Structure 1
Amino acid sequence: MADPLMIQPLRFDPSFEQIPDDEAETTRELVETLRSIIETTYKDYGHAVRSVHAKSHGLLQGELEVLANLPPVYAQGAFARAGKYPVVMRFSTNPGDILDDGVSTPRGLALKMIGVDGERLPGSEDAVTQDFVMQNAPAFGAPTPKKFLGMLKMLAKTTDKAPGMKKALSAVLRGAESAVEALGGESPTLRNLGGHPKTHVLGETYYTMVPFLYGPYYAKLSVVPVSASLTALTDAPVDLDGKPNGLRDAVNAFFVDNTAQWEVRVQLATDLDRMPIEDASVKWPEDESPYVTVARLTVLPQPAWTDARAAVVDDRLAFSPWQGLSAHRPLGGVMRSRKPAYEMSSAFRGQHNGCPMHEPRSAEPLPD
């Protein structure tokens, strides 16, 4: 394992991003596909939800503390100075429809830092927030926007179709995924289709999966459970039988009397071939550049999910990696193509729910 203090990060060069001639068309189709999902669920529910990660399982407020005396290469952007920031955290699962938790899919975490100063990305000039959008996998499930579009079209066809069949299929896929893991492997495809193990969402490590600028460098970020109460939940099974909202129930039960702590870690790129920007499916080797802790997250006991909280976080907040500092601009085709998709989803929800998105400027307590 490389010594973090000896890491020589690769300075980002604009030539590292290679934009295919047909990327604009791919992006248009991607947005149309996601819009078809959100329009379908709106007709079903009479209420607009996200086109992906529609179902939340934990809606939390906490504090992020940027560590003092970070090595200069890690003291960049939102982590340039020691300090404390209020945060909002949203735990979710992948699908764009609201499913029984027995349909077990990858988990997501959206993190919003509040009160961040610095030059802003276009479209977020009036905000003071920095968003990181993550999933419990170190790399994205598709290498390029075109491959992502193919996966998305397949999933769109199943939106609001045969929920009972999805639950039965999920059990079969979990068995197949267990067999793959027993041989030392892992299948993102099986997990995405419903084969994710029935484990606790709070015990997972979450990753941005795709790179973003980190000051003059580029990097990935992870949020890792470190308090004993959280690490005890890593790979811990959750009983979801007959419990359509079992994950939400488990998160609520945890935060009745537990304090949770995570570390925020950054992996700096050191080699363009081994740590590419345009292939989002590559897991960057940690033996060459380990994840290094730059901040700590603390969440105190609280009601973790309530209808009142959902009305604020699910309906009034948008989480987008394009909502933040220029020092953390998302990179690569997958992220470029997702930018208008995030914008479409939040605009659709704001319009159809009669509730414009609200970007907090200070620590506004979430309702109980």
Structure 2
Amino acid sequence: MDFTPVRYAPDIAPPEPDLDRSMRRIIEVIEDFERGSVEGEGRAVRFAHAKAYGLVRGTFEILDGVPPEYAQGVYGRPGTHDALVRYSNGLSHLGADRMLGNIVGMATKVFGMESTTTLPDEAMSRTMDFNMINGPVFFCNTAAHYTFLAKLFIDLPKYRQSGRRGNHQMFHDWVTGYGTLPASEWAWDELGAMLRLGERARWQNLLLSSFFSMGAVRHGDYVAKLRIRPTDDSAARVRTRGLDPTGRDEVFRPALVGELAGAEHEFDFQVQLCASLETMPVDDLTVEWEEHESPFVTVARLRFPRQDIGGEENLAAADALSFTPWRCPPEHVPLGSIQTVRKEVYRHSSSLRHRLNGQHRAEPASAADVLPDRS
């Protein structure tokens, strides 16, 4: 290691002014959406990552022999755990893949962790979640801006339906907060991050994509971001690679189902330590942490056996689960105002959605309780 990693401190990302007020406004926007979000399916959907592409059973092996700066917290206890992964589209809606776009998510739930979580009502759940997307940055920096962007994110398909004029209106509303922000607070950085995210996303098999935590997390004594990427051998096994959404409503799920039925797959779970708060900021999620300053180091392996994830019961199981980056031990808590917003927003969203759908909301005790082995 040719750098000194930044050490974690409780005040490393102090909360922004009026955080509680912004959070309440965001929750109101999202709860209003979920109450009216049945979209012909007869059920309320998530405010983000509404459309599931499949729920996958796997194992999460924490590796031995990892350098001490990386073997922090749970990553300092080698062993193998069951895991579930929900692949999904990033938007708040259902519909054809070509309309929803190719910003996709990979939510991972690891079982049997020997730690309490930071969620008071789930302290003994023994699960740990990772909420990740196929890009290294996030399109929002402050909770104040998120009050506008949450609504715009929900309205994105309406803008797209209006073609070029809709795109122009979206850019205006995005930057200006629907015309309410003074010019000094316009969200240029957030718009740039969103555009870069769209440029880097690919219409490809989900098993070929890398997924990122976007925001920083505590990593024991240090600060880090996370990445999941396919190993070279696993990527080489993928047969259906590029996807064309123009002629079919569904491209991501059929490709995923087909690949998992034919072969096993493996991924590196990696940690990137913060080397400098100036060039690798914790409180600016639009800035990508460059690998030449701090490389990603593999601390665990995620493996998928061959399995059948086809059928509506798989999608029903995916939609019944709850994922939040705050379902984690205290030594791995998310950092920054946006991450704090996610804690309350995800909790309110999940609770309301389960209530509207008549689903019992409880953290599963094992992967087999959710998804029996159908290999």
Bin the TM-score by the shorter chain: 0.7 to 0.9
1:57 aligns with 2:57: no
Indicate the residue corresponding to 1:270 in structure 2: 275
For the 8 Å contact 1:59–1:310, the answer to whether it is kept is yes
For the 8 Å contact 1:203–1:232, the answer to whether it is kept is no
After alignment, is 114-123 or 285-294 more displaced?
114-123
- Amino acid paired to 1:342: Y
Indicate the residue corresponding to 1:292 in structure 2: 297
Q: RMSD between aligned alpha carbons?
A: 2.6
Indicate the residue corresponding to 1:113 in structure 2: 110
Output the CA distance in 2 between the equivalents of 1:41 and 1:192: 26
1:137 aligns with 2:142: no
Indicate the residue corresponding to 1:177 in structure 2: none
The alpha-carbon distance between structure 1 residues 194 and 57, as it changes in their structure 2 partners (threshold 3 A), is farther
Secondary structure at 1:49 match in 2: coil
Indicate the residue corresponding to 1:333 in structure 2: 337
Percent identity between the aligned chains? 29
Gaps of 5+ in 2: 169-190
Q: Count residues with an aligned counterpart.
A: 346
**TM-score, length of structure 1 as denominator length:** 0.86
- CA distances 1:72-107 after superposition (whole Å, capped 9, x unpaired): 111122211110010000111111110201121311
Output the CA distance in 1 between the equivalents of 2:239 and 2:30: 32
Output the CA distance in 1 between the equivalents of 2:104 and 2:212: 11
Secondary structure at 2:339 match in 1: helix
Output the CA distance in 1 between the equivalents of 2:115 and 2:278: 31
Deviation at 1:341, TM superposition (A): 0.8
Secondary structure at 1:64 match in 2: strand
For the 8 Å contact 2:141–2:283, the answer to whether it is kept is yes
Output the CA distance in 2 between the equivalents of 1:258 and 1:149: 43
Deviation at 1:126, TM superposition (A): 2.3
Query: Aligned match of 1:322 in 318, 323, 326?
Result: 326
Deviation at 1:6, TM superposition (A): 4.0
Mapping for residues 147-162 of structure 1, pairs under 5 Å? 147-158=145-156, 161=158
- CA distances 1:180-239 after superposition (whole Å, capped 9, x unpaired): xxxxxx964347789954222221100001011111211111001114342566994202
1:301 aligns with 2:295: no
Query: Aligned match of 2:247 in 238, 242, 245?
Result: 242
Q: Which runs of 4+ in 1 moved over 3 A?
A: 190-197, 231-236
Output the CA distance in 2 between the equivalents of 1:43 and 1:201: 25
- Amino acid paired to 1:210: G
For the 8 Å contact 2:193–2:286, the answer to whether it is kept is no
Mapping for residues 29-68 of structure 1, pairs under 5 Å? 29-42=25-38, 44-68=40-64
After alignment, is 16-25 or 43-52 more displaced?
43-52
For the 8 Å contact 1:59–1:305, the answer to whether it is kept is no
For the 8 Å contact 1:221–1:264, the answer to whether it is kept is yes
The alpha-carbon distance between structure 1 residues 65 and 262, as it changes in their structure 2 partners (threshold 3 A), is same
Indicate the residue corresponding to 1:349 in structure 2: 353
For the 8 Å contact 1:145–1:334, the answer to whether it is kept is yes
- Amino acid paired to 1:338: R
Output the CA distance in 2 between the equivalents of 1:255 and 1:352: 33
For the 8 Å contact 2:47–2:154, the answer to whether it is kept is no
The alpha-carbon distance between structure 1 residues 268 and 191, as it changes in their structure 2 partners (threshold 3 A), is closer
- CA distances 1:230-280 after superposition (whole Å, capped 9, x unpaired): 256699420223322221111011111111110000001121112222111
The alpha-carbon distance between structure 1 residues 148 and 162, as it changes in their structure 2 partners (threshold 3 A), is closer
Mapping for residues 84-233 of structure 1, pairs under 5 Å? 84-103=80-99, 104-123=101-120, 124-158=122-156, 161=158, 165=161, 188-190=193-195, 196-231=201-236
**TM-score, length of structure 2 as denominator length:** 0.85
For the 8 Å contact 2:16–2:142, the answer to whether it is kept is no
Indicate the residue corresponding to 1:176 in structure 2: none
After alignment, is 225-234 or 250-259 more displaced?
225-234
Gaps of 5+ in 1: 174-185
1:362 aligns with 2:366: yes
Secondary structure at 1:42 match in 2: coil
For the 8 Å contact 2:114–2:126, the answer to whether it is kept is yes
Output the CA distance in 2 between the equivalents of 1:321 and 1:221: 12
Query: Aligned match of 1:19 in 4, 12, 15?
Result: 15
The alpha-carbon distance between structure 1 residues 99 and 357, as it changes in their structure 2 partners (threshold 3 A), is same
Secondary structure at 2:11 match in 1: helix
For the 8 Å contact 2:52–2:318, the answer to whether it is kept is no
Indicate the residue corresponding to 2:187 in structure 1: none
For the 8 Å contact 2:3–2:275, the answer to whether it is kept is yes
For the 8 Å contact 1:277–1:331, the answer to whether it is kept is yes
Output the CA distance in 1 between the equivalents of 2:202 and 2:271: 26
Output the CA distance in 2 between the equivalents of 1:194 and 1:97: 21
